[in-house]
Structure 1
Amino acid sequence: MNLPNLEKGHRITGRWSKKHYTIVRPLGRGGIAGVFLAVDLHSGVYVALKISQDLSSLTREYTIMEKISRKGFCPRVYELDDCSIKGENFNFIAMEYIPGITLKELIGKKVGMAEALSIAGLLAVILNILHRSGFIYCDLKPENIIYDRRKGKIVIIDFGGAVKKGEGVLEFTPVFDRACWGIGSRRADERYDIFALTILLYILLRRRVPHPSKEGIQQILSYARKSKLRIIEKGLLMKYRSMKDFFTELNSLKVLEREKTIRKRYDRILNPLCIVSISIFISLLLITLKKMGF
């Protein structure tokens, strides 16, 4: 399957909509599609164009994104059309361009427990909405998760791998694929996404990316047990029935972590005060004892 190499200034014209877009720069490239930043010449708005010759994949992605984009957790889709590029026929989705940083850029940086749980919680909410719509995301990974600077929220991009519940997984990344870890199948169910989200939580906390070809799942489970993070153990062993159950436990952990943080803050404030109070008490006691002739 050919992927177009488009330079800055190249014009794309929709065959049916007759809309014109000018390419600004490439944004990413996968196995079956290329994504480009472009300008809608009619509105002057920046858009992301996903271009491919795989019409069925783009149609599925467009349908899913159109259903859930109203919730605000993924880019809005504007149109699905086809065009001619250098004499070849291609299909494309024009969608909202989300400026921001990907979660991949956070890996290796210090992310606290509370932050990691919050990120995982937000992703669990998004994935639960997708699951309720009858689809499984299947290809969760840091580069598909963006923090939208404009709106101050997390969004998921690239729904090319999403399929209906019960279908076979079409696109996956080995690190987040339970089958590569020898845990389960590549049949799309809620536990498939829960496993991937659990691995992502582990990566945020450990600041390292594990790989199934270099280590076994037991090493991650060992970390979970030592750290008393049962949510990681249960997520990897697929003990949660649904993403909602996973989120509920995440939320309870967030509350506990928040309480722990508050206690630490109070300790930092109160401990010096206690030391001062004890010092004053001892000083007064010594003065009193001296006056009494001791």
Structure 2
Amino acid sequence: MVNVSDDAVKGVGKVLNDPNRPMKERFRALFALRNIGGQTAINCINECFTDESVLLKHELAYCLGQMQDKNAIPVLINILEDKNQDPIVRHEAGEALGAIGDTDLQSLLEKYQNDPAVEVAETCQIALQRLKWLKDESINDKSLSKSLYNSIDPAPPSKEVDIEELTKTLLDENKSLFERYRAMFSLRNLQTTESIHALAKGFQASSALFRHEVAFVFGQMQDERSVPALIQTLEDKDEHEMVRHEAAEALGSIGTEDCTKVLKMYLEDPRPVVRESCEVALDMSEYENSPEFQYANTLLTVTS
């Protein structure tokens, strides 16, 4: 948690909650609040769940999970239980609760592991298994939870390092999503051409949630070798919007000329989640190719 005055935090919150501002500015404000942390930041984020943007609300939930602050739990429970929220937002709330890792949440997640929205159900199944994994301290190596990418992942990486074995697990639809996620994060951590090709095969999975996580992982890696698979995914009009949106943001993180070119093509996509993701992704790409020191720089702009 960063030591910042309440007034300064609320100033960032005003940017986040202003629907007249470009989405890219609101995203930067959100990530600034995530970095600041604390109850005032949580309150500012919570206020924004009334917004019309599914993409933004999904990202609100993600950031609350990454903050790892138990004070965010009531907010996230409210979103998970709100059937009027889009399943993409509810899924992210479920994942965020798993990220916070409070084992007292087990009964709540069990309640939603068979939710009618498959994205929500699968997310809660994975979150439940993460809580059980965290609870079993006698067997599990907690250091596995420390991501190379400074993120709280839905599952710890597998201890397996053989790419062929990891690929088999990744693509085995008879295994639990938690096991397959573990293989996914191990392949991410290997950072080789072979592991990237293996991850790209994950776009063939039947679960949209799983495919969306493959795209997210590629965004974390920021490796140009994943660009062809990501472009193909974004261009697939029949793909689930949560997958296409993650592919767009991953392309923004990588930020090559080819990435920028294809993102501009989808700024007018008929699906709001996709076109807003392309707007944010282009801003991310601009940041990656600029001398800017910090992406989440809203605090500097509201206090200067």
State the TM bucket, normalised to the shorter chain.
under 0.3
More helix by share: 2
More strand by share: 1
Q: Which has the larger radius of gyration?
A: 1
* TM-score calculated relative to the size of structure 2: 0.25
